Amino acid sequence: MWRALRLIQSNHRALIESTGDRKKIERDHIELLFARDLRYVYGEDEGASWISRRINRTTKGLQLCKKDPNLIPHFMRRTFRKLLHSK
């Protein structure tokens, strides 16, 4: 089973690298993750006040950035986009 998973991963990696625009595919995938799954990464905190939700999300976002520093530019881009379009 482990070999099958590794084979699928290597085939997927080869397919992405053969397209020639690997960075764009990764960027699109990360944006999709942020748009679709970020609330599940942060956790459901519907009962809390908005400030505690913001603190909770910031803390968990920083933990994610610590684990994977490549996410920092995506977090920053998303933050600035939300700030510019919030008014």
pLDDT in tens, 37-70: 666 655 555 555 666 777 777 888 888 888 888 8
80 within a domain of the structure (yes/no): yes
- List the domain range (segments joined by +) for residue 37: 23-85
pLDDT of residue 66: 85
pLDDT of residue 42: 55
30 within a domain of the structure (yes/no): yes
39 within a domain of the structure (yes/no): yes
Mean pLDDT of the chain: 75
16 within a domain of the structure (yes/no): no
pLDDT of residue 39: 61
17 within a domain of the structure (yes/no): no
31 within a domain of the structure (yes/no): yes
* Maximum Cα–Cα distance across the chain: 51
1 within a domain of the structure (yes/no): no
- Short-list 34, 44, 36, CA closest to 64: 34
- Number of structural domains in the chain: 1
Q: Is the pLDDT of residue 72 over 70?
A: yes
